[in-house]
């Protein structure tokens, strides 16, 4: 390899990397400009495989009615007990 070929190869490598960096910076700038208008892309979730409602259009059960009233009351009592226990633990830690 002669000195001329080595110089051309080095300059081409440097310019190619500068071009690559410029493209990356451009993509980051465009992403930052559009991020507040763009909805997040959800991959590999149940709703990402549906088209115009998909399987959700065939659900007949009310999605908010999966607990009976008794189960709901038991759950609320349990959650309130957990919250009270956490508050007591925080008071014990702080004192």
Task: Give the pLDDT of residue 13.
Answer: 97
Dihedral over Cα of 64, 65, 71, 72: its sign: positive
Instruction: Tell me what pLDDT residue 80 has.
Output: 92
In the chain, which residues have pLDDT < 70? 39-66
The model carries a pTM of 0.38
Please state, in angstroms and as integers, the Cα–Cα distance from residue 24 to each residue in 48, 60, 74, 78, following that order. Answer: 28, 48, 54, 51
User: What pLDDT score was predicted for residue 3?
Assistant: 93
């Amino acid at each position: 390899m002669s000195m001329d070929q080595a110089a051309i190869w080095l300059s081409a490598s440097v310019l190619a990397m500068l071009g690559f960096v410029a493209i990356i910076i451009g993509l980051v700038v465009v992403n930052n400009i559009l991020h507040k208008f763009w909805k997040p892309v959800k991959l590999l979730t149940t709703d990402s495989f549906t088209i115009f409602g998909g399987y959700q259009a065939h659900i007949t059960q009310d999605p908010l009615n999966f607990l009976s009233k008794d189960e709901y009351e038991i759950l609320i009592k349990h959650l309130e007990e957990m919250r009270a226990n956490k508050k007591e633990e925080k008071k014990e830690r702080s004192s």
